[in-house]
């Protein structure tokens, strides 16, 4: 299986060891400098990229993804900012935080939060003061006698007595907008909402708040949460992950290599290759302007164990051969040439597996896949040239006794004995193995059918993490901290100008009847003139038509005689009313529809609270009628709604209205508070709304659109699931074709895919069976493991063929294959399995998941290779080895 | 030449009569008079344009009628000050047409207010509430429209420029208002506040009122275009006054509950 093309490279590496060593050292340092200098002194080399951390889950979708564009546009349109939620709970006081001392602290905290604003060259930063929701910044909406609503600050100053504290709660609980949002449903806790200019300000804001509350000596517990906070914390933990897991992986690999080869000088070489590959790849990532993201932060820990795999094969064989040949140069050349093709193929398949991630529509996953592939390439290249060079540069004395201890009694170690036994057993019981395999496949199919697709970025933190704790407590007390928005807008049916004019003529006649009844003067004359104006006016659109008409009417009114003036004024009013007809979210029936939808959403069990325009209108309407609960409803006329709304705008915060409706009343926004950030719960809500819309056609043509981070998460999850399937299929086909090409045999190609297919199926089956959610880390596993797990099969099949050729038949070859080749494979299984385990020490759940499952897949695939392949070969010997035996 | 000298002297005398270092009380009272008390009564059509931070505009049209109890505009002993009544009639947007807001501004006690919502057929006299809330969703507050009582603040003349008296006003009861203080740039000749800036406790300017256009109407310098900007929100409201008229002889009984449902068309035109 040795390739002629490979020999010049290996000969060269052996002949010029110093050159290659220096080349590697130099190139690595160059890359590190190119990445480090702009990161440390960004202003000195503005042309180069500095290290950038990206913890924004929105970036799971490309920046130009329609869902994201709509999300951003809608956020801007409704002036919605990302929010830091500060929950204040007091378990000691019987009334919770509603006591003078606690409320004094809440007041002080709010005043402090208002000061958290700063500016730099990019503009304003920090808290958006006018949109803070806190007891001292919101209005109490209260009747001030029949027909009047008073707006006064809910808590203009901290209460002096317990009674005052309780009355603040009582008033707040009467305002739907605050109940369940600012005051907990049980009336014991408070939440302050601090909107941020940019979500990237959350770290500073949180730090300042934590500093401020550190000096509290009361019984209140303060929980700070909200997605921006989670993201920033995530960034910090990401580096912790890299700082803990990567060195730990190095250590594990080092210890294992020592256990395998017992030669300190020699095992340093794969460690160097691993370091060089990981560092160069990360440097390249920074240099090319890519960000450190949850995915890309895992690159080093992926590259390191993979980087030593080829070296292990080299060293294993060197270990076995050196005691016989006793010449390092001859030995290394022979070993390298022997292993060149399998190493090339294993590396290329691994690269293909990772590079296939570029087929997913998730940019961070693409970057991860491509850069791990680059890292694997670097590791392969430096293994090929540096390991032989290193061996040549070693003092020959250091090799003294290498492999000696075991060469005479080569097969007496525990591992060796076990593997020999295993080889014999598979040869004797092929049908048992295949029967068990078939059973596994059946279980897998059942398990996979039960897989639940779900993710939740908050659950990326461990359950005892302060953010998870805050999240849990706040969701117990309040309507929910996960926000999704549902926007409705009028679905313009494209009424033509002509048919509009026909309708308008009818309404004008009704108008005439009305003003006649109201005893206006000169009605007939004004009406005739109006009809004439309507005929004369030409326009492209209804809006244009009306505005031209309004202009003409106003002109005529200004010049009208005193006698006609009032009638003209009424006519002007009539056309202005026409203009307001498309203000759909002032129409009582539309508002009632939204209100019914709100009630329906609360019954889904997932939505804890919906804030929307109907609440504001109903609350103000109730207070206009002396706070009478019967008047907690939508007024019966458009004008009634409009006048209720203008009453609301007499408050301290009229701008709050524009979070729920646009000033032209053509779009309205429902804010849903979900108590769970699970994608499956969001999906449930989406499906429920679709159902509702279908069963309850809206009174006017409306169309709905979702936005908000909780919704975006669902979208990228969908992309992820489909993308991963595509990526897995893609890499499966590519690897299969490569195998067919490598072995020049379709049967061998198919055979090589069996162990990993069974393994991947089994792991996903188990995930389905134990009820583990199919989330982002689980999704990326399949494609990742494919390129790695095939390696065992490549080595195993290549060596088996060779052995059959040498020994004459499979029966004899089993012993050979279960000697050194099986040992090298087992060592790789152990290295890979153990090499990924340090991810379990990472503080974030996705890393742990990846670590655990990838280790499981690789170990299982190793076992499957060593069991299924020899069993299959025993049964298929005649078909498989035709070429070798003829 | 002689005539010119006479003219110059008389001009000088006229100017010095006012400008001879008026006291802070005089400046504040003259500004108060110029802004809120000119004439026996007044009428103006107002077009209000609210522009938010996204450039979206909303428009309101209203007519303001004012009646002053004192018959005089004399400054002496604050004779010009006294009870005032406002009748604010909304005509646009169309859906708030005929809405009326009535205020009796009292000097010695809280104001009386009425609001008439025709669509809900609601009218009732109401107790005063916070006067520093938005006026129908604009950047102006109620108090900006009806006038803040000069006795509620301490006034301090910070400096006199060639055009303006710069006055710092500090509330006597800081808990009743959202500002820490406000600065007024009062025009030396007309005594109209040309710019008013509101500052918060961190000395940050967050609200600015400007007189954009001044016209002489019936001998009274009158602001006919004014703006209020909310710097924190990025929104701005412009009020344009037209058909301004003083001393129209509006009878006092227009400013009663009776006329809420039955707008006095004659005076609103």
B120-170 residue pLDDT tens: 888 766 655 678 888 989 999 988 988 888 889 999 999 999 999 999 999
- A145/B132 CB distance under 8 A: no
The whole-number pLDDT of residue A690 equals 95
- A145/B124 CB distance under 8 A: yes
Residue B16 confidence class, pLDDT cut points 50, 70, 90:
very low
Neighbour-count burial for A16-38, b at 16+ CB within 10 Å, e otherwise:
ebeebbeebeeebeebbebbeeb
Segment of A125-129, A153-157, A555-559, B226-230 carrying the highest mean pLDDT: B226-230
Residue A3 has pLDDT above 50, yes or no: no
Q: Which residues of A touch B135 (CB under 8 A)?
A: 650
* Interacting residues of B41 by C-beta distance below 8 A, sequence separation 6+: B65, B66, B67, B68, B246, B247, B248, B249, B250
Range scoring the smallest mean pLDDT among A147-151, A448-452, B61-65, B256-260: A147-151
Contact B217, B244 (CB under 8 A): yes
Angle at A186 between CA A185 and CA A190, to 5 degrees: 70
Closest CB to A652 among B123, B133, B269: B133
Distance from CA of A304 to the nearest CA of B (A): 51
Contact A842, A311 (CB under 8 A): no
- B119/A643 CB distance under 8 A: yes
Q: Which residue has the higher pLDDT, B123 or B260?
A: B260
Q: What is the pLDDT of residues B75-100, one digit of tens each?
A: 877 788 888 999 999 998 998 999 99
Q: Which helix (H) or strand (E) covers residue A221, if one does?
A: strand A221-225
Angle at A28 between CA A22 and CA A29, to 5 degrees: 90
DSSP strands (E only) in A517-582: none
- The answer to whether residue B8 sits within a structural domain is no
Nearest CA in chain B to A147: B122
The whole-number pLDDT of residue B192 equals 93
Distance from C-alpha of A273 to C-alpha of A22, rounded to nearest angstrom: 13
Segment of A192-206, A248-262, A366-380, A470-484 carrying the highest mean pLDDT: A366-380
Task: Decide if B117 touches A, using CB distance below 8 A.
Answer: yes
The whole-number pLDDT of residue A612 equals 94
Residue A50 has pLDDT above 90, yes or no: no
Task: Decide if B175 touches A, using CB distance below 8 A.
Answer: yes
Residue A404 has pLDDT above 70, yes or no: no
Distance from C-alpha of A339 to C-alpha of A346, rounded to nearest angstrom: 11
Mean pLDDT of A75-84: 90
Residue A411 has pLDDT above 60, yes or no: no
Give me the residue label for tokens 């018959």: B71
Residue A297 has pLDDT above 80, yes or no: yes
Contact B167, B156 (CB under 8 A): yes
- B93/A655 CB distance under 8 A: no
Closest CB to A643 among B92, B99, B137: B99
Angle at A781 between CA A779 and CA A786, to 5 degrees: 130
Nearest CA in chain A to B94: A577
Domain coverage including residue B189:
23-268
Residues 10-49 (B) with a CB less than 8 A from some CB of A: none
Nearest CA in chain A to B122: A147
Tell me how crowded residue A653 is: count the other CB atoms within 10 A of its CB.
20
Q: Which residues of A touch B125 (CB under 8 A)?
A: 145
* C-alpha A71 chain-centroid distance: 15
Contact B230, B236 (CB under 8 A): yes
Q: Among A110, A148, A638, which would you mutate to test the B interface (most chain B Cβ atoms within 10 Å of its Cβ)?
A: A148
* Interacting residues of B105 by C-beta distance below 8 A, sequence separation 6+: B83, B84, B85, B86, B111, B146, B147
Task: Decide if B133 touches A, using CB distance below 8 A.
Answer: yes
Q: Which residues of A touch B132 (CB under 8 A)?
A: 652
Q: Which helix (H) or strand (E) covers residue B42, if one does?
A: strand B41-51
Q: Which two tokens stand for residue A265?
A: 């000088």
Angle at A96 between CA A91 and CA A98, to 5 degrees: 155
Kindly report the average pLDDT of chain A as a whole number. Answer: 87
Task: Decide if B217 touches A, using CB distance below 8 A.
Answer: no
Kindly report the average pLDDT of chain B as a whole number. Answer: 87
Closest CB to B129 among A77, A150, A658: A150
Q: Which residues of B touch A78 (CB under 8 A)?
A: none
Q: Which residues of B touch A146 (CB under 8 A)?
A: 122, 124
Q: Which residues of B touch A144 (CB under 8 A)?
A: 126-127, 129
Distance from C-alpha of A431 to C-alpha of A622, rounded to nearest angstrom: 79
The whole-number pLDDT of residue A460 equals 83
Mean pLDDT of A169-191: 89
Q: Alpha carbon of A814 to those of A324, A752, A792, A808: distances in Å?
A: 22, 17, 16, 11
Distance from CA of A674 to the nearest CA of B (A): 29
Nearest CA in chain B to A563: B266
Distance from C-alpha of A467 to C-alpha of A478, rounded to nearest angstrom: 16
Written in H, E and C, the secondary structure of A812-860 is HHHHHHCCHHHHHHHHHHHHHHHHHHHHHHCCEHHHHHHHHHHHHHHHH
Strand duo A482-490 + A190-195: pairing: unpaired
The whole-number pLDDT of residue B39 equals 87
* Interacting residues of A361 by C-beta distance below 8 A, sequence separation 6+: A61, A62, A719, A722, A723
Closest CB to A663 among B58, B96, B115: B58
- B232/A77 CB distance under 8 A: no
* Beta-ladder partners of B221: B216
Distance from CA of B146 to the nearest CA of A (A): 14
Contact A116, A210 (CB under 8 A): no
- B117/A566 CB distance under 8 A: no
- The answer to whether residue B55 sits within a structural domain is yes
Phi, psi of B236 (to 5 degrees): -150, 140
Contact A275, A250 (CB under 8 A): yes
Phi, psi of A507 (to 5 degrees): -70, -35
* Interacting residues of A736 by C-beta distance below 8 A, sequence separation 6+: A749, A750, A753
Residue A408 confidence class, pLDDT cut points 50, 70, 90:
very low
Tell me how crowded residue A677 is: count the other CB atoms within 10 A of its CB.
24
The whole-number pLDDT of residue A5 equals 56
The end-to-end CA distance of chain A, in Å, is 18
Q: Which helix (H) or strand (E) covers residue A596, if one does?
A: helix A588-602
Task: Decide if B65 touches A, using CB distance below 8 A.
Answer: no
- The answer to whether residue B152 sits within a structural domain is yes
Distance from C-alpha of A750 to C-alpha of A728, rounded to nearest angstrom: 16
- The answer to whether residue B6 sits within a structural domain is no
Q: Alpha carbon of B120 to those of A172, A264, A344, A641, A675: distances in Å?
A: 26, 91, 83, 9, 38
Give me the residue label for tokens 């010449």: A327
Contact A642, B119 (CB under 8 A): yes
Residue A838 has pLDDT above 80, yes or no: yes
Mean pLDDT of B44-70: 93
Q: Which residue has the higher pLDDT, A142 or A845?
A: A845
Task: Decide if B122 touches A, using CB distance below 8 A.
Answer: yes
Mean pLDDT of A744-748: 90
Distance from CA of B127 to the nearest CA of A (A): 6
Domains contained in chain B, number: 1
- The answer to whether residue B3 sits within a structural domain is no
Residue A783 has pLDDT above 90, yes or no: no
- B92/A576 CB distance under 8 A: yes
The whole-number pLDDT of residue B8 equals 53
In chain B, what are the helix, strand and coil shares in percent, each to the nearest 5? 25, 45, 35
The whole-number pLDDT of residue A2 equals 42
Closest CB to A643 among B58, B96, B265: B96
- The answer to whether residue B233 sits within a structural domain is yes
Closest CB to A144 among B94, B122, B129: B129
- The answer to whether residue B9 sits within a structural domain is no
Residue A577 confidence class, pLDDT cut points 50, 70, 90:
confident
Residue A409 has pLDDT above 50, yes or no: no
Distance from C-alpha of A183 to C-alpha of A202, rounded to nearest angstrom: 23
Q: What is the pLDDT of residues A750-771, one digit of tens each?
A: 999 999 899 989 999 999 999 8
Mean pLDDT of A776-799: 83
ipTM score of the complex? 0.88
Q: DSSP label at A230?
A: H
Residue A693 confidence class, pLDDT cut points 50, 70, 90:
very high
For residue B257, what is the domain's CATH number?
Answer: 2.50.20.10
Residues 71-110 (B) with a CB less than 8 A from some CB of A: 91-97, 99
Q: Which residues of B touch A139 (CB under 8 A)?
A: 133
Q: Which residues of A touch B124 (CB under 8 A)?
A: 145-148
Percent of chain A with pLDDT over 70: 97
The whole-number pLDDT of residue B13 equals 47
Residue of B46, B61, B45 lying closest to A550 (CA atoms): B61
Nearest CA in chain A to B141: A650
Percent of chain B with pLDDT over 70: 90
Task: Decide if B236 touches A, using CB distance below 8 A.
Answer: no
The whole-number pLDDT of residue B6 equals 53
* C-alpha B234 chain-centroid distance: 22
Closest CB to A147 among B96, B124, B127: B124
- The answer to whether residue B132 sits within a structural domain is yes
Residue B209, helix vs strand vs coil: strand
Mean pLDDT of A283-293: 89
Residue B62 has pLDDT above 90, yes or no: yes
Contact B182, B167 (CB under 8 A): no
């Amino acid at each position: 299986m040795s390739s002629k093309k490979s020999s010049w490279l290996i000969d060269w590496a052996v002949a010029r060891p110093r050159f290659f060593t220096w080349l590697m050292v130099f190139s690595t340092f160059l890359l590190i400098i190119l990445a480090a200098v702009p990161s440390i002194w960004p202003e000195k080399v503005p042309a180069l990229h500095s290290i950038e951390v990206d913890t924004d889950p929105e970036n799971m979708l490309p920046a130009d993804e329609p869902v994201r564009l709509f999300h951003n546009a809608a956020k801007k349109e409704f002036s919605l900012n990302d929010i830091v939620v500060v929950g204040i709970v007091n378990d000691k006081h019987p009334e919770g935080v509603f006591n003078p001392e606690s409320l004094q602290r809440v007041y002080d905290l709010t005043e402090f939060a208002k000061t958290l604003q700063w500016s730099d060259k990019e503009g304003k930063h920090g808290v958006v003061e006018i949109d803070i929701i806190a007891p001292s910044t919101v209005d109490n909406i209260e009747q001030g006698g029949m027909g009047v609503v008073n707006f006064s600050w809910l808590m203009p100053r901290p209460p002096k007595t317990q009674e005052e504290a309780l009355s603040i709660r009582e008033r707040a609980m009467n305002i739907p907008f605050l109940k369940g949002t600012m005051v907990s449903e049980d009336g014991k806790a408070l939440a302050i909402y601090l909107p941020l200019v940019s979500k990237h300000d959350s770290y500073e804001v949180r730090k300042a708040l934590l500093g401020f509350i550190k000096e509290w000596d009361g019984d209140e517990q303060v929980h700070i949460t909200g997605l921006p906070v989670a993201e920033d914390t995530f960034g910090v933990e990401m580096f912790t992950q890299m700082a803990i897991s990567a060195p730990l992986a190095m250590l594990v690999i080092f210890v294992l290599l020592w256990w395998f080869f017992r030669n300190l000088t020699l095992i340093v070489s794969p460690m160097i290759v691993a370091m060089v590959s990981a560092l160069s790849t990360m440097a390249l990532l920074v240099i090319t302007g890519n960000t450190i993201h949850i995915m890309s932060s895992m690159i080093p820990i992926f590259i390191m164990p993979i980087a030593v795999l080829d070296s292990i094969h080299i060293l294993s064989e060197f270990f076995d051969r050196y005691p016989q040949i006793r010449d390092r140069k001859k030995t290394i050349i022979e070993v390298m040439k022997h292993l060149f093709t399998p190493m090339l193929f294993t590396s290329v398949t691994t690269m293909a597996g990772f590079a296939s991630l570029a087929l997913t529509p998730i940019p961070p996953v693409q970057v991860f896949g491509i850069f791990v592939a680059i890292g694997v390439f670097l590791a392969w290249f430096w293994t090929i040239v540096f390991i032989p060079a290193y061996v040549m540069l070693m003092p020959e004395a250091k090799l003294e006794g290498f492999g000696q201890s075991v060469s005479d009694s080569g097969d007496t170690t525990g591992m060796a004995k076990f593997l020999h036994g295993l080889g014999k057993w598979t040869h004797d019981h092929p049908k048992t193995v295949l029967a068990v395999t078939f059973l596994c496949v059946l279980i897998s199919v059942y398990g996979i059918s039960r897989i639940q697709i779900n993710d939740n970025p908050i659950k990326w933190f461990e359950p005892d993490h302060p953010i998870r704790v805050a999240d849990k407590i706040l969701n117990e007390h309040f309507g929910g901290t996960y926000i999704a928005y549902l926007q409705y807008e009028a679905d313009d049916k494209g009424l033509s100008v002509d048919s509009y004019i026909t309708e308008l003529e009818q309404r004008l006649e009704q108008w005439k009847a009305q003003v006649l009844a109201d005893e206006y003067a000169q009605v007939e004359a004004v009406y005739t003139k109006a009809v004439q104006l309507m005929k004369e006016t030409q326009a492209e659109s209804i809006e244009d038509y009306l505005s031209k008409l309004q202009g003409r009417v106003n002109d005529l009114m200004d010049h009208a005689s005193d006698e006609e003036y009032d009638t003209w004024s009424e006519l002007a009013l009539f056309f202005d009313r026409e203009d307001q007809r498309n203000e759909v979210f002032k129409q009582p029936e539309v508002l009632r529809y939204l209100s019914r939808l709100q009630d329906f959403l609360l019954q889904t069990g997932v939505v804890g609270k919906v804030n929307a325009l109907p609440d504001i209108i109903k609350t103000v309407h109730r207070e206009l009628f002396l706070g009478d609960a019967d008047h907690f409803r939508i007024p019966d006329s458009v004008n009634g709604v409009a006048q209720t709304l203008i009453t609301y705008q007499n408050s301290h915060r009229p701008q709050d209205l524009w979070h729920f409706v646009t000033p032209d009343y053509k779009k309205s926004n429902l804010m849903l508070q979900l108590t769970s950030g699970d994608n499956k719960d969001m999906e449930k809500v989406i499906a429920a709304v679709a159902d509702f819309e279908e069963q309850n056609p809206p009174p006017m043509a409306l169309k709905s659109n979702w936005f908000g981070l909780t919704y975006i998460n669902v979208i990228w999850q969908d992309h992820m699931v489909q993308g991963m399937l595509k990526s897995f299929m893609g890499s499966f086909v590519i690897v299969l074709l490569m195998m067919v090409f490598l072995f020049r045999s379709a049967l061998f190609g198919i055979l090589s895919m069996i162990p990993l297919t069974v393994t991947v199926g089994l792991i996903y089956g188990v995930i389905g069976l134990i009820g583990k959610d199919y989330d982002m880390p689980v999704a990326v596993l399949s494609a990742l493991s494919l390129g790695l797990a095939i390696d065992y099969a490549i080595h195993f099949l290549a060596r088996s063929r060779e052995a059959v050729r040498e020994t004459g038949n499979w029966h004899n070859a089993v012993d050979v294959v279960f000697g050194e080749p099986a040992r090298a494979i087992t060592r790789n299984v152990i290295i890979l399995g153990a090499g990924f385990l340090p991810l379990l020490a990472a503080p974030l759940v996705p890393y742990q998941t990846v670590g655990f499952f990838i280790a499981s897949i690789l170990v299982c695939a190793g076992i499957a290779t060593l069991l299924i392949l020899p069993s299959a070969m025993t049964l298929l010997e005649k078909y498989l080895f035709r070429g070798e035996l003829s | 030449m002689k005539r010119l000298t006479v003219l110059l002297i008389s001009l000088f005398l006229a100017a010095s009569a006012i400008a001879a270092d008026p006291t802070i009380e005089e400046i504040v009272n003259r500004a108060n008079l110029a802004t809120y008390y000119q004439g026996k009564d007044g009428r103006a059509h107002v077009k209000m344009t609210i522009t938010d931070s996204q450039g979206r505009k909303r428009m309101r049209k209203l007519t303001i009628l004012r009646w002053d109890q004192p018959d005089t505009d004399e400054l002496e002993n604050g004779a010009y000050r006294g009870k005032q009544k406002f009748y604010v009639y909304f005509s646009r947007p169309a859906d708030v047409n005929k809405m009326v807001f009535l205020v009796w501004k009292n000097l010695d006690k809280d104001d009386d207010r009425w609001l008439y919502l025709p669509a809900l057929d609601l009218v009732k006299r109401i107790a005063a509430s916070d006067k520093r809330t938005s006026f129908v969703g604009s950047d102006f507050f109620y108090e900006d429209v009806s006038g803040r009582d000069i006795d509620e603040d301490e006034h301090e003349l910070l400096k006199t420029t060639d055009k303006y008296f710069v006055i710092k006003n500090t509330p006597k009861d800081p808990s009743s208002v959202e500002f820490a203080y406000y600065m007024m740039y009062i025009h030396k000749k007309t005594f109209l506040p040309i710019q008013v800036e509101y500052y918060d406790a961190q000395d940050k300017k967050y609200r600015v009122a400007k007189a954009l256009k001044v016209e002489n109407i019936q001998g009274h310098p009158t602001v006919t275009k004014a703006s209020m900007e909310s710097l924190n929100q990025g929104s701005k409201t412009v009020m344009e006054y037209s058909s301004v008229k003083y001393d129209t002889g509006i009878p006092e009984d227009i400013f009663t509950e009776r006329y809420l449902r039955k707008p006095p068309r004659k005076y609103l035109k």
